[in-house]
A and B are shown apart, each in its own frame.
Chain A
Amino acid sequence: MSVAAAEPFVRRPFLDASRPILWGCAALLCALIVLPVSWLLVFGFSNPAGAFTFENFRLLATDPSFLEPMVTTLIIAVSSSALCCAIAAPMGWLVARTDVPLGRTIRALVTASFVTPPFLGAIAWELLAAPNSGLLNQAYRALTGAPQDDALFNIYSLGGLIFVIATYTFPYVFVLVANALERIPGELEDASAILGGRIWYTARRVMIPLALPALLAGALIAFLQAMTLFGSPAILALPSGFHTMTTKIWSLFQYPPKPELAAAAALPLLVLTVVLLRTQRGLLGRRGYTVVGGKFGRPRRIRLGALKWAALAACLAVLCLPVFLPYFALFNAAFSPSASTLISPSTMTLQNVQFTFELSTTKVALKNTFILGTLAATLGTGLALVIGYITARRAVAGHRVLAFLATAPIAIPGIVLGVGLFLVYARPPFQLYGTLWILLIAYITIELPAAYQQMQSAFRSVHPELEDASRILGATRLQALGHVTAPLLRTSVIATWCFIFVSVIRELSAAIMLFTSETKVVSVLIFDLKESGDLGAIAVLGLAMLLITFAVVIFANRIPGFGVGRMRAA
């Protein structure tokens, strides 16, 4: 049977808006990321007159006032990363593989330390461990009768800074290790046990090697965090008399500003970050560490017996460091007339609270923070949603480039991005300096990678056939997205929104470069107050910040998923 001459198919004449939207997002991403980085390069290689030069880098490599901070930064990064691993790995193992009691509580407390801004933690640790006025040192002297000048801890030292940084970066390692260990099936331990291996032997020979990639990945992230933090070094290093790379870059922007040197100093940080991230991806990509085989059972919980209480005590002791002690110190400073004296029911006072909320800048800062947080969260989630869809469903050619760009900002340290954005947008044709827009751009750029990764894994959990089923029945791509995918992603979308909101509140390193008096945010306000020594006000604002953050996080975790109870695998 022959077929009549084929007619070319006729497209329905309506506009399918899918393509332009998708391309628009791609263009936006490029602008967000490529612009600041390219300006950094331009400035790094120019002198103040605008001519091309290597002078900036020559200065970086030879001037001790640059070399010393670089060395210091490396020492800090390596030490705190090692410290993180030493603490987080055993804790992760305890929570994931043993029957240590209160495992969920421990996890929740680790999340609490995740959520605490590192600079606030640094301030709180100042209150605790300043050699003379610190609460812990006072307690030590009171208990042991040591003389006035003796101190158990001196937070104003390289060691002190390493300690504080490690305290607030260990959650990264913990989460990665705990998750990896949880995925290792129980049969592996059984196999080792049957062959005669005892708990510790199995742990050493089976668990540790399998968890090694996650541990190394976590160590790398901790290293990167430590290298690129601004707030903690600014608070602890300067009184101690040394600079880190981030504080040095910031100081180059003080009057008279030397943006060329700042850009040149920022570039090594950027390069190092990129290199380390590639290494990490290479590590995690090695197939040899994935578990090969058939069906798996749940992980076995190792019985610790009587040791479990000791283990719990150890975990809680560790969690004193990022959570219990600092929060207490802040609470003390907020409601006590003097931050170095312990409050008592008779001396408790609200004068700090009053002072803080009567400050004319407080209202502005709170308003700005709220506006920026909401805008950044909404726009950022939307962007992550669209880009997540494009890459998960491979909707346009070049989606791989998009995926790369969406995660690229991880490689740009906050302060470097701040410098880059300042260079791009504080001049014609943009002139965004002094507006909330430049801060908004910074926040979205910084938070996009994490938001995108969350959205991407959410998309992966929605079977593409659900969308196909919708399309074959007559829906366009966008309609399928709206009818099917979006409702199923509702919880993820809300969770991502909350995540961005919380992250924006605590961001300091980019904001410190880009704010003006009208566009101040709470984190910058706290930093300013620190420079004039107003500890009471800092504590009040810090507690307010933590309260808002926790409220949002708890809300995000309790969202009743629509039809979630019925959404068992269909």
Chain B
Amino acid sequence: MSSVELRGLTKRFGDRHGGAVAVDGISLRIDHGKLICLLGPSGCGKTTTLRLIAGFIEPTAGEIFVGSRMVSSSGHALPPEQRNMSMIFQSYALWPHMTVAENVAYGLRLRKLDRETIKTKLAAILATTRLAELADRYPGELSGGQQQRVGLARALVVEPETLLLDEPLSNLDANLREEMRFEVRRLHDAYRYTTIYVTHDQAEAMTASDLIAVMNAGRIEQAGTPEEIYLRPRTEFVARFIGGSNILRGRNVGGDRADFAGIALRCDGAKLAASGETAVSIRPHDIRLSTAAPDASCENVVRATVVRQVFLGGSRDYMVEAPDGTQLRVIAPAEQSIPPGAAVWLHLPPERCRALAE
């Protein structure tokens, strides 16, 4: 049974005709107990989608279902306080005039639980999030990481059906962010709610989620598991956004081959367009670079010249130029250092050449 479902969700700000469209006809099904990530650059509509789900804004069109209940539609929306959801905000939104304990216990008090129950649950969650010694401090006295954990504790203690996270780690420094990524996943696995996580950081998305929905300009470009998204991107945007990619363009020359730099490149993935050019994506570290010509049985071999080379420690980052002028980025092992100007052969393994739908 799906826990949260979005059907044709649209939000337009401003007046009827000519306002900016923030969310454009999104449909998505999130199964119960899964952690889905809405991933995309700033301005893609992911935070708006999250706020629509939370109930802070009403959709212009489309519906949102939680379980079998319709909670939002254009013209009617259940207010946030009635949705049994929890949210962690980008700014943490900790109430500065309440202690950590009061912040965390707020939701429990609203539900009118008795004192003993509140005490027990509070102690439990503070232990889980390692905040027990900080219970009587005020948010202004805590570090960023500690504040983030308070937000987490506050959201989790009420045992919501659905947990919403709005870029919760973006204010933390790099080390802490890594640590917290695992923490969020660990807690999700422990409590098993449906979690919707909004971020622009793909590393976060890859680490934490069961499902990633890549968003751009108000639409979902592709939704799938981290592996699917990475290995089999369906659009140019997704290919570039996740993991970075080289995009080649070639006309269809028959039999799954696209014409590139004089050779017929055999591609995998989507069908090549019948006419016109198709974009083909290949990741920098999937291209094999060698100074000697590979043997004739290899397909998809292209000659190129090294333009520049950067030593990164564990690898070398090459920029090479193909005969037709296209520049490709290649990441190769660090042992061999090929100087700029040298001639090289590139082998583009067919299963790594993904033809993109658009």
Contact = CB atoms under 8 A, between A and B. Distances in A.
Contacts of B139: 566, 570
28 contacts: A1-B31, A3-B5, A4-B68, A6-B65, A6-B69, A6-B70, A7-B70, A468-B54, A468-B93, A470-B95, A470-B106, A471-B80, A471-B81, A472-B85, A472-B164, A473-B106, A474-B81, A474-B107, A474-B110, A474-B111, A475-B81, A479-B110, A488-B95, A562-B97, A567-B138, A568-B141, A570-B95, A570-B147
A483 to B, nearest CB: 8
Contact of A3 (B68, B71, B78): B68
Contacts of A474: 81, 107, 110-111, 158
Nearest to A467: B93
A466 interface: yes
A71 interface: no
Contacts of B29: 1
Contacts of A476: 79, 81
Interface string B68-95: 1111000010111111011101111111
Interface in B96-134: 96-97, 106-107, 110-111
Interface in B1-40: 1-2, 5, 29, 31
Interface in A41-68: none
A298 interface: no
Given A568-B140, A569-B140, A468 B87 contact: yes
- Give the one of A3, A4, A11 with max B CB within 10 A: A3
B82 A12 contact: yes
Nearest to B5: A3
A465 B89 contact: yes
Which of B76, B80, B106 has the most chain A CB atoms inside 10 A of its CB?
Answer: B80
A11 to B, nearest CB: 8
- With most chain A CB atoms within 10 A of its CB, the pick from B2, B29, B86, B93 is B93
A8 interface: yes
A179 B94 CA distance: 31
A463 B81 contact: no
B234 interface: no
Contact of A484 (B31, B95, B141): B95
A1 B1 contact: yes
B149 interface: no
Interface residues of B, number: 45
Contacts, number: 114
B56 interface: yes
B68 A7 contact: yes
B154 interface: yes
A470 B109 CA distance: 12
A547 interface: no
A398 interface: no
Contacts of A473: 81, 86, 106-107, 110, 154, 158
A459 to B, nearest CB: 15
A487 interface: yes
Contacts of A569: 140
Given A7-B68, A11-B78, A570-B147, 9 more contacts: A6-B69, A12-B82, A465-B89, A468-B89, A469-B89, A474-B110, A479-B110, A568-B96, A569-B140
B110 A469 contact: no
Interface in A1-40: 1, 3-9, 11-12
A487 B106 CA distance: 15
A566 B65 contact: no
A465 B68 contact: no
Nearest to A8: B70
A563 B96 contact: yes
A7 B56 CA distance: 21
B180 to A, nearest CB: 18
Interface in A555-570: 562-563, 566-570
Given A6-B68, A465-B91, A469-B93, A475 B86 contact: no
A474 B138 CA distance: 22
Nearest to B68: A4
B141 A566 contact: yes
With a 10 A CB-CB cut-off, give which of B54, B70, B97 has the most chain A CB atoms: B97
Contacts of B2: 1, 3
A471 B90 CA distance: 16
